[in-house]
Amino acid sequence: MNQTGGEVMEIWLEEGGTAGRIACPVEMRPGPGQYLLARAPEDRGSPLAETLFPSGYTLDGFISGPGLPSSWLPGTKLVLRGRLGNGFRLPENTRRLALASLGQTSARLRPLVSQAIERSSAVALYCDSRWSQTPYFTWPAELEIYPLAALREDLTWADFLAVDAPLGRLADLPAVLARTGRPQCAAQVLVEAPFPCGGMADCGVCAVRTRHGWKLACKDGPVFDLNELPWIP
């Protein structure tokens, strides 16, 4: 597992908290749905490592947040560990991509928007959170945004679905995604949970019930195929 230095280059406020540009070696940039663990050695008020998911990429690193510690300022030096976890795997033949966020932010889904548009795929986002414009991400004209409740009616349109869901809302997936049964299109779910050990201690904080028993989102995920999750009536 790689470890390297990084630095907070910029910060700004988005819906849901503080986001920022993190400088790091290109080979350390996490893919969509993957994460890094970051620790600021000089920030003695935050002894635990922070989980950083990418919401975009730059030539010198990536964009992370919202949710960065308020104590991190431009110039804060970081120790980064990663890349960690299994991320999204967008099929090459995806032509109609549906994105759904059950949490307070859709930021972790932004890299998939860029991938889909580069492939000339149609993209629709379903969420009840505000989609923020940022210094490194503007609202693409190709992106359509709808309330989360509209997903049940529109899901037959998509040939691939990517979901960002807090661990505590996995039981809501049947009601959110379909009227009866599982959706027919392929689907993956990013499980948002605390990852304090980064897969090293098996602490169980991020345990997810699957069809094959309990798994840890920090190392078996955080992205799971929807078919791996039990369909809760």
Domains of the chain as residue ranges with CATH: 2-84 (2.40.30.10), 96-228 (3.40.50)
DSSP 8-state class, residue 179 = S
Bridge partners, residue 7, by sequence: 23, 77
Whole-number pLDDT of residue 132: 66
Whole-number pLDDT of residue 181: 62
* pTM of this prediction exceeds 0.85: yes
Question: Would you call 180 helix, strand, or coil by DSSP?
Answer: coil
Backbone angles phi, psi at 199, to 5 degrees: 80, 10
Averaged over successive runs of 10 residues, the pLDDT of the chain (233 residues) comes to: 89 87 94 94 78 94 91 94 92 92 91 90 88 74 89 87 92 78 84 80 83 90 91 58
